[in-house]
Amino acid sequence: MSKLPHLITLCCSLALLAACEQAAKTAPAANGAAEQSAPQAPTAEEAAAFVARAEEKLAQLGQESERMAWVLSNFITFDTELLAARASEQYTAAQVEIASQAARFNEVQGLDYDTHRKLHMLKSGIIIPAPLDAAKTAEQSEIGARMSGMYGKGAYCPDEGDCLALGELEDIIAESRKPDELLEAWEGWRTVSLPMKDLYARQVELANEGAAELGFDDLGTMWRSAYDMDPAEFPGELDTLWNQVGPLYEALHCHVRAKLGEQYGTDIVPADGPIPAHLLGNMWAQSWENIYDLVAPPETAAGYDLTQILQGKGYDARSMVETGEAFFSSLGFEQLPETFWERSLFVKPADRDVVCHASAWDIDEQDDLRIKMCIDVNAEDFKTIHHELGHNYYQRAYKEQSFLYRGSANDGFHEAVGDTLSLSITPEYLQKLGLLEEVPDASGDLGLLMQQALEKIAFLPFGLMVDQWRWKVFAGEVGPDGYNDLWWQLREKYQGVAAPGERPDDAFDPGAKYHVPGNTPYTRYFLAHILQFQFHRDSAVPVPPGAV
């Protein structure tokens, strides 16, 4: 046998040995590098530090966004829409980024209660999440600002006469008893929402994409996750509540339908069908107290007309707010800061467009408290002022909490606090204010209870159905072509209310309600109407001597 194969074998063996030795020398270093590069599981301490940084960043950006939103609501122009969109874009992008990062701590063991709860809040507390794509975040913010501006500037311009803003149209709906006049005002306001339809549909697409990136099925699931229960179980909880209070509403609906039939005739108000929405005294038929005169119990009265009393006593917008502040001061709360009076909006300006929808603001989440509303001297706004101030005083009460805890247990809880305080506007309270000389005789209680039912009981199904509509939209059960049909199907199902006539194919009647283009979840108001009576019933807080 030739030596060559042996030499080749020897060389190969030596080469292999050298390679093995080299591998043995380098293996520990390589393994060490791999161990060093492998991501380490985050710790509970890191999670707590992350939450602290997130709160600090969101507090700063949130205040900037809030200030720009205030400016936009009070000065609706092209430039303020653009600036508000940019501020909202930055805030939303930060929320989405932080929410995505918060998911890193999902499996961390040993988290303290606050850190665990705050991580969940960071992931689920975004109302309109944007996709991580920067261009889509900018697009979504622009859509939100545009729809807010469209609503605030909205007006109905008839063929003859001046254009009518929402407040003027609401006055017609509340006061007129002429069906044709009511119908024109009702349909006129709904021309404002037509251009919003495509914008809203696109916003739904973007928000759903953002919700999916955060691990939710859709935006509706994300909203329902904020109630400290499985989001799949939350609708069942609402059904239970509705089944408990529904019979009250059905009795009220039956009575009101019969009385409206007497007023307008059964050709307009059928004896056994839904009530036409334009006849109920409210632009959205969500509360019915403005038709009290048509449905009042026989041979009884509310005992007084608060609107007439306020106007007769010379009240104006500011004095109504001062009366509300005095109510809280009498309970021992500190007076509102001077900046409240300098910066709030009480009266609709004559020289510019504003969003008149009443709202309470806490700009810096400390003491820069404000309300924004276009106040009319009437009973409804008198109650609304007490409600909005309830928000302000509650906001100030939790200002010492950390950023994520500056809020209520859930959004319905916050609304219920304001509503509970407005329940204190009783005849006894009005007498202490000097608005009534005497508390009406108990024979007038039936009328007062009817007024309360027209305001509170009538609202319940509307408070429930708005988000029932949105959740179906978010889940993709209906597209833009079916938005309006679904809206009226749900309104008839829950409210027994129907559109007064056939609606145009391109109508977008949901957009005529501020909270839809404004992206404000609405189930909070249904819950608030339940909670406020529970709060009022179970309150054990002693009333200070001399309190009004």
Catalytic residues: 388, 515
How far apart CA 457 and CA 252 sit, in angstroms, is 8
With the C-alpha atoms ordered 83, 88, 94, 97, is the resulting torsion angle positive or negative?
A: negative
How far apart CA 39 and CA 522 sit, in angstroms, is 42
Secondary structure element (H or E) that encloses residue 370, with its range: strand 369-372
- CA dist 104 → 38, 62, 114, 121 (Å): 15, 23, 17, 14
**For the chain, counts of helices (H) and of strands (E):** 21, 6
What single-letter amino acid sits at 323?
A: T
**Which residues lie below 8 Å from residue 350, measured CB to CB, with a gap of 6+?**
none
With the C-alpha atoms ordered 307, 308, 313, 316, is the resulting torsion angle positive or negative?
A: positive
How far apart CA 371 and CA 325 sit, in angstroms, is 12
How far apart CA 90 and CA 73 sit, in angstroms, is 19
Question: In 250-259, which positions are buried (b, 16+ CB within 10 angstroms) versus exposed (e)?
Answer: eebbeebbee
How far apart CA 297 and CA 292 sit, in angstroms, is 9
CA 359, distance to chain mean position in Å, is: 10
Tokens 């591998």 — which residue? 23
- 205 token code pair: 């697409």
Residues in the chain: 548
How far apart CA 302 and CA 426 sit, in angstroms, is 12
- CA dist 334 → 319, 400, 501, 539 (Å): 18, 15, 51, 21
- Note whether 256 and 288 are within 8 A (CB): yes
What single-letter amino acid sits at 270?
A: P
Greatest alpha-carbon span in the chain: 131
- Note whether 509 and 519 are within 8 A (CB): no
Phi/psi class of residue 133: alpha, beta or left (left: φ > 0; alpha: ψ in -120 to 50)? beta
533 three-state secondary structure: helix
